[in-house]
Amino acid sequence: MSRIGILSYAHVHASAYASCLRRLSNVDFIGIADEDRDRGQQAADANSVPFFSSYDSLLAEKPDGVIITSENIKHLPLTRLAAEAGAHVLCEKPIATTMADGREMARLCREHNVKLMIAFPCRYSPAVQAAKRALDNKQLGRIFAVKATNRGQMPGGWFTNRELAGGGAVIDHTVHIMDLVGWFWRSPVKRVYAEVGQDLLWKEGVDDSGLISFRLNNGMFGTLDASWSRPKTYPTWGDVTMEIVGELGWLQLNMTGQEITLYSDARQGISLVPWGSDINLGLVRDFVDVIGSDRPSPITGEDGLYALEVALAAYQAAGAGAVVELPLE
């Protein structure tokens, strides 16, 4: 039985992870800590677990692991607290708002002999795993290009605060796709170019749309639409898609394609309701398994840095109007 707590309930994914902890029979969900007392107490009450008004007080209960779902800027300080307390860490994406912070998170976890796992649940989609098997088996032969999208609704709140989030749509939505690119092909990104739009759609004072082009060291070329381009009335939150072109064929991946259309008088609208596997449950279950075994983290701090670097390079490229070579240093 692994004892796990949540540090901060600020992120929109926190409730999904809390639900997963409640569903796993080998987890003792010890509580939720949040510096926002009202938010934390409401979350604790909703999940029938104790509320801790400080992170130190939850860590004093000696959890085996914690899930960090704070604002992005707070990932480093919360990871430091957890690592020093000997708790393994599952941290929401992006790993951090700067490469320096992300590297320090990885260093702290190594120093304190705890595992750091980054929350990229897309890896646990059956469609994504089927695509990876096809690629690993060379069914498409040599890969020439990938066209990807991660287009969703604008989440609001601190996500539109550049200081807390590190940016807007580009940092929010680039990292999911680039994690899959890194996982699929294990090739460094060589160069990045991007066009980034601020206040084109939502007038929130932060980027809400971005088109990114990138090239890998293996010669493969890719494009990504990383935007908050879905209206509030859209029947689902967004999409994660890839079109992969190879010498032997073409593969189309639609991670969110398992949906039924619901016409609801109660909701007074139409929604696309997902069915099938729960990718968040796959992520949290794997984290719990990693805690209780000698397995290394399946999604490392280095994986988090790979994805973050492309988002940061996209901002630099858009600002300069020029191609940016990686690594950024």
Q: Where are the domains of the chain?
A: 2-119, 125-277+308-325
Q: Which amino acid is at 147?
A: K
Q: Which pTM was predicted? A: 0.95
Instruction: pLDDT band for 236, please (50, 70, 90 cuts).
Output: confident
Same fold, 2-119 and 125-277+308-325: no
pLDDT (0 to 100) of residue 277: 87
Given a cut of 80, is residue 16 above it in pLDDT?
A: yes
Q: Which of 315, 279, 286 has its CA nearest to residue 121?
A: 279
**Cβ contacts of 226 within 8 Å, gap of 6 or more:** 149, 150, 151, 169, 170, 172, 173, 174, 177, 210, 211, 212, 311, 314
Q: What is the pLDDT of residues 276-289, one digit of tens each?
A: 889 999 999 999 99
Place of tokens 């209960």: 61
- CA-to-CA distance for 138 and 248, rounded, in angstroms? 9
Cα dist from 76 to 47, 71, 101, 213, 326, whole Å: 26, 10, 6, 29, 23
Instruction: pLDDT band for 269, please (50, 70, 90 cuts).
Output: confident
CATH for 2-119, among 3.40.630.30, 3.40.50.720, 3.40.50.20, 3.40.190.170? Answer: 3.40.50.720
Q: Which of 212, 230, 218, 216 has its CA nearest to residue 271?
A: 230
Q: Are 134 and 221 in contact (CB under 8 A)?
A: no
Given a cut of 80, is residue 329 above it in pLDDT?
A: no
Q: Which of 180, 252, 175 has its CA nearest to residue 210?
A: 175
CATH topology of domain 125-277+308-325: Dihydrodipicolinate Reductase; domain 2 (3.30.360)
| 259 sits in which H/E element | strand 259-264
